[in-house]
C-alpha cells in the first residue's frame, strides 16, 4: 500500500508530507484548492510525462517521493521479475525529480532506474481511475481484456497464444512461398542466369592471386629467362667454371689427403653436401626460367582474359572470388527453394490445416472459460448496479465467435468478440453503452466492475478521481459504501465533492489553498473528528454553515 507521500514544488504546493494507512481515505476541498495537483504528482511516480510547467514558479526543480509497504507476495514476485527488490523492511521508496531545464531522474530505494522501468513498477502498485477510464466501457477492444482479468484464464490464454503464434508463423511462410507467380518466375530466371554465369568460369578460391602472380612472371619473361639462365650456368651449366665443378674438384683434391689428414674427410663430406644442394637449386632456377616450349605472349593473353572475366563477375556479384562464390551458393539455395516451392507450399498448407485445428481447439477452451466467467461477472455487476440505485439496468456480456465465409477468424485474443451491453429500461434490448449510458451511469458501472475484479488484478492501491460525477444523495452514499467495502482488500483513495462519500471514509484529508507572503500555497491536512464534521458541513452548506448542516454532518459520520 501507499504508506507516505512527499510533494515539493509542484504547482502551488510548496511542500507537503502525508502519511497514509490502509482502508478507505477521502480527499475533499474547495474547487481550485489543488486536488488535481495531488493526482498529477502521483502520476509522476507512475512514469507519466513530466511537464516543466508543473514546477512551482521561481523554483529550479520539483520532487515527488513515496514509500510503499505491506506488499503481498504476488506483487513482490512481479517486482523481482523486473529486477526490483524491496529493502530489508519490505519497503519501496520511489523518488522522481523534475528540473526546470526539462530533465527528469528516478531513483528506487536509492538506485537510479529508467522511466520505462518506473512505468512497469507503477502499474503493479497503483491504479488511478478517472473520467477517462470510463471510455474503457465504450471501447469494445477493452472489453475482452476486462473479462480476461476477471476470468483468470491465463493458462487457457497462454495455450491459445502458442497455437495462434504457430498458425501465424506458418501463414507467413505460405505468403512467402506462394507470393506472386510472375514475380517467382522472374526470380527463377534471374537466379538461373546468375548461377550459370558464375559456373561458366569454374572459379576456385585464391585464383586471383595465382593469376596475378603468373601475369607478373609472364610480363617479365625475358628478364626471368636471361637471369635464371645466367644463374644456372654459374651454378651448374658451365663445364669448368660453374660452382658445382669447382666444388667437385675441391672434393677430389681433399680426398687425396684423407690418409694423411683425417679431418679432410669431414671437409670433403660437407663440400659434397653443398655441391648437391647447389645442384638442386640450379635445377629449380632452370625451372623458373621455363622450358621455352610455349609462347609467353600467348600465355599472357590467356591470363589477361581470365582476369578480365573474373573482374566482370566482381562488378556484378562481389569484390573478389570468395565473395562471388558465396553469392553463387546463396543464389543456388534460393533457386532450390523456388524450384521446390510447389512441394513446400503443399507441405505448408497441410501444416496450416493442423495449426488451424489446434487454434480452434484452444480458442474453444478459452471461449468456454470466458462464457462461464461472463455469466458470473454480469450477474455480480448487475447486483452491484442494483445496489447503486440502478435496479432496472441489465448488464450483459456478449461473447460472439467470429467467422468469415464459414472459416474461423483468429486474432491475438482468440476467435471471438466480447461486448458489454446494457439495457436501462424494462423491455428494451441490451445495446452498446456508448449509445445509452450517461456519464453518471458509466461511473457507477465502472465502479461496479472495479469492485468486482479488484481482488483479481492484484493492484494494492486504487485511486478514484471524481467517481461521484452525475450522482448525489442516496446514490452517492451507496457509492461510498461500495468503496468502503472494496477497501477491505485494497487500499482505496477517493477524490470527491460528495459529503455522502467522504463521510464513509475511514480517513479524511482536506486540501486547502491559502495565501502567504503574497503567494498561494496548497496544503493537505488529515482531519480529526471535529475537523471532519466541519468539512462535511462546508460541503453540505452554502455561503455559511448552519447548525442543521453540522448536525447532518454528524449524522453522516455516525451512519444515521
Query: Is residue 214 in some structural domain?
Result: no
User: How many domains, in total, are found in the chain?
Assistant: 1
The closest alpha carbon to 492, from 9, 3, 26, 14, belongs to 26
Whole-angstrom Cα Rg for the chain? 45
The closest alpha carbon to 437, from 481, 469, 411, 482, belongs to 469
Average pLDDT over residues 46-74: 89
pLDDT given at position 288: 78
pLDDT given at position 285: 83
Q: What percentage of residues in the chain have a pLDDT greater than 90?
A: 35
Give the pLDDT confidence of 251-284 residue by residue, as tens digits: 888 888 888 888 888 888 998 898 899 888 888 8
Using CA atoms, how far apart are residues 551 and 547, in angstroms rounded to an integer?
A: 6
pTM: 0.64
Query: Is residue 480 in some structural domain?
Result: yes
Average pLDDT over residues 135-164: 86
- Tell me: pLDDT of 291 over 60: no
- Tell me: pLDDT of 543 over 70: no
Give the pLDDT confidence of 233-247 residue by residue, as tens digits: 888 877 677 888 888
Say how many residues make up the chain.
560
User: Which residues face 423 on adjacent strands?
Assistant: 394
- Tell me: pLDDT of 292 over 60: no
Q: What percentage of residues in the chain have a pLDDT greater than 70?
A: 96
- The answer to whether residues 213 and 219 touch, using CB atoms and an 8 Å cutoff, is no
Average pLDDT over residues 463-470: 81
The closest alpha carbon to 417, from 401, 403, 433, 430, belongs to 401
Query: Is residue 179 in some structural domain?
Result: no
Average pLDDT over residues 480-508: 91
Provide the mean pLDDT of the chain.
Answer: 86
Average pLDDT over residues 533-539: 92
pLDDT given at position 534: 92
Using CA atoms, how far apart are residues 411 and 538, in angstroms rounded to an integer?
A: 54
Average pLDDT over residues 406-412: 90
pLDDT given at position 214: 82
The closest alpha carbon to 335, from 169, 179, 173, 196, belongs to 196
Query: What domain range includes position 482?
Result: 1-130+461-527
Give the pLDDT confidence of 382-399 residue by residue, as tens digits: 888 888 888 888 889 999
pLDDT given at position 519: 83
According to the 3-state scheme, what is the secondary structure of 191-241? HHHHHHHHHCCCCCCCHHHHHHHHHHHHHCHHHHHHHHHHHHHHHHHCCCC
- The answer to whether residues 178 and 367 touch, using CB atoms and an 8 Å cutoff, is no
Using CA atoms, how far apart are residues 486 and 479, in angstroms rounded to an integer?
A: 11
Query: Is residue 372 in some structural domain?
Result: no
**182 burial type by CB count under 10 A (0-12 exposed, 13-18 middle, 19+ buried):** exposed
- Tell me: pLDDT of 181 over 70: no
- The answer to whether residues 191 and 334 touch, using CB atoms and an 8 Å cutoff, is yes
Query: Is residue 6 in some structural domain?
Result: yes
pLDDT given at position 92: 94
Using CA atoms, how far apart are residues 201 and 328, in angstroms rounded to an integer?
A: 12
Average pLDDT over residues 117-145: 81
Give the pLDDT confidence of 2-43 residue by residue, as tens digits: 999 999 999 888 899 999 999 999 999 887 777 888 888 999
Give the pLDDT confidence of 204-229 residue by residue, as tens digits: 888 888 888 888 877 777 787 788 77
pLDDT given at position 261: 86
- Tell me: pLDDT of 455 over 70: no
- The answer to whether residues 112 and 93 touch, using CB atoms and an 8 Å cutoff, is no
The closest alpha carbon to 175, from 167, 185, 186, belongs to 167
pLDDT given at position 91: 93
- The pLDDT-based confidence of 104 (bands split at 50, 70, 90) is confident
According to the 3-state scheme, what is the secondary structure of 340-369? CHHHHHHHHHHHHHHHHHHHHHHHHHHHHH
Query: Is residue 434 in some structural domain?
Result: no
- Tell me: pLDDT of 135 over 70: no
Average pLDDT over residues 56-85: 90
Element (H, E) at 449: helix 439-457
Question: Domain with 75 in it: what CATH number?
Answer: 3.40.50.300
Using CA atoms, how far apart are residues 25 and 133, in angstroms rounded to an integer?
A: 20
pLDDT given at position 224: 75
pLDDT given at position 457: 67
Give the pLDDT confidence of 323-356 residue by residue, as tens digits: 999 999 999 998 887 777 778 888 889 999 999 9
Query: Is residue 65 in some structural domain?
Result: yes
Query: Is residue 51 in some structural domain?
Result: yes
Amino acid at each position: 500500500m501507499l504508506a507516505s507521500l512527499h510533494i515539493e514544488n509542484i504547482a502551488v504546493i510548496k511542500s507537503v508530507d502525508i502519511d497514509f494507512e490502509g482502508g478507505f481515505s477521502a480527499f475533499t476541498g474547495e474547487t481550485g484548492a489543488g486536488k488535481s495537483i495531488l493526482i498529477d504528482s502521483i502520476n509522476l511516480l507512475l512514469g507519466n510525462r513530466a511537464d516543466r510547467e508543473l514546477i512551482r514558479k521561481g523554483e529550479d526543480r520539483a520532487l515527488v517521493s513515496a514509500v510503499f509497504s505491506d506488499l503481498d507476495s504476488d506483487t513482490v514476485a512481479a517486482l523481482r521479475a523486473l529486477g526490483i527488490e524491496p529493502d530489508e523492511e519490505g519497503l519501496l521508496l520511489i523518488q522522481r525529480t523534475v528540473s526546470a531545464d526539462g530533465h527528469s531522474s528516478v531513483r528506487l530505494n536509492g538506485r537510479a532506474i529508467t522511466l520505462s522501468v518506473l512505468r512497469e513498477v507503477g502499474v503493479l502498485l497503483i491504479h488511478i481511475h478517472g473520467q477517462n477510464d470510463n471510455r474503457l466501457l465504450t471501447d469494445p477492444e477493452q472489453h475482452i481484456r476486462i473479462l480476461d482479468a476477471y476470468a483468470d484464464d491465463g493458462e487457457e490464454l497462454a495455450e491459445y497464444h502458442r497455437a495462434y503464434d504457430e498458425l501465424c508463423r506458418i501463414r507467413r511462410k505460405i505468403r512467402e512461398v506462394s507470393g506472386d507467380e510472375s514475380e517467382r518466375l522472374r526470380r527463377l530466371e534471374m537466379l538461373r542466369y546468375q548461377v550459370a554465369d558464375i559456373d561458366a568460369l569454374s572459379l576456385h578460391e585464391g585464383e586471383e592471386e595465382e593469376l596475378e602472380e603468373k601475369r607478373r612472371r609472364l610480363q617479365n619473361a625475358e628478364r626471368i629467362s636471361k637471369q635464371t639462365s645466367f644463374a644456372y650456368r654459374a651454378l651448374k651449366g658451365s663445364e669448368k667454371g660453374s660452382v658445382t665443378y669447382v666444388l667437385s674438384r675441391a672434393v677430389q683434391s681433399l680426398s687425396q689427403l684423407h690418409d694423411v689428414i683425417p679431418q679432410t674427410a669431414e671437409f670433403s663430406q660437407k663440400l659434397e653436401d653443398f655441391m648437391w644442394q647447389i645442384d638442386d637449386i640450379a635445377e629449380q632456377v632452370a625451372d623458373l626460367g621455363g622450358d621455352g616450349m610455349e609462347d609467353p605472349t600467348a600465355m599472357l593473353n590467356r591470363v589477361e582474359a581470365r582476369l578480365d572475366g573474373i573482374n566482370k563477375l566482381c562488378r556484378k556479384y562481389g569484390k573478389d572470388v570468395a565473395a562471388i562464390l558465396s553469392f553463387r551458393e546463396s543464389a543456388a539455395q534460393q533457386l532450390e527453394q523456388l524450384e521446390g516451392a510447389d512441394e513446400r507450399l503443399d507441405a505448408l498448407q497441410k501444416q496450416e490445416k493442423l495449426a488451424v485445428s489446434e487454434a480452434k481447439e484452444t480458442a474453444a477452451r478459452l471461449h468456454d472459460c470466458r462464457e462461464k466467467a461472463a455469466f458470473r461477472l454480469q450477474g455480480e455487476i448487475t447486483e452491484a448496479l442494483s445496489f447503486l440505485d440502478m435496479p432496472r439496468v441489465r448488464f450483459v456480456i456478449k461473447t460472439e465467435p467470429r467467422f468469415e465465409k464459414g472459416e474461423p477468424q483468429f486474432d491475438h485474443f482468440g476467435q471471438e468478440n466480447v461486448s458489454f451491453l446494457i439495457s436501462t429500461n424494462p423491455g428494451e434490448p441490451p445495446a452498446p453503452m456508448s449509445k445509452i449510458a450517461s456519464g453518471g451511469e458509466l461511473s457507477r458501472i465502472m465502479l461496479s466492475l472495479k469492485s468486482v475484479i479488484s481482488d483479481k488484478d492484484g493492484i494494492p492501491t486504487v485511486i478514484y478521481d471524481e467517481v461521484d460525477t452525475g450522482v448525489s444523495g442516496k446514490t452517492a452514499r451507496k457509492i461510498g459504501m461500495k468503496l468502503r467495502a472494496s477497501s477491505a482488500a485494497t487500499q482505496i483513495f477517493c477524490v470527491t465533492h460528495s459529503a455522502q462519500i467522504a463521510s464513509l471514509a475511514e480517513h479524511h484529508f482536506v486540501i486547502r489553498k491559502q495565501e502567504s507572503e503574497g503567494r498561494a500555497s496548497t496544503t493537505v491536512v488529515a482531519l480529526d473528528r471535529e475537523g471532519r464534521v466541519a468539512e462535511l458541513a462546508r460541503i453540505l452548506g452554502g455561503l455559511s454553515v448552519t447548525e442543521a448542516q453540522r448536525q447532518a454532518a454528524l449524522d453522516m459520520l455516525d451512519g444515521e
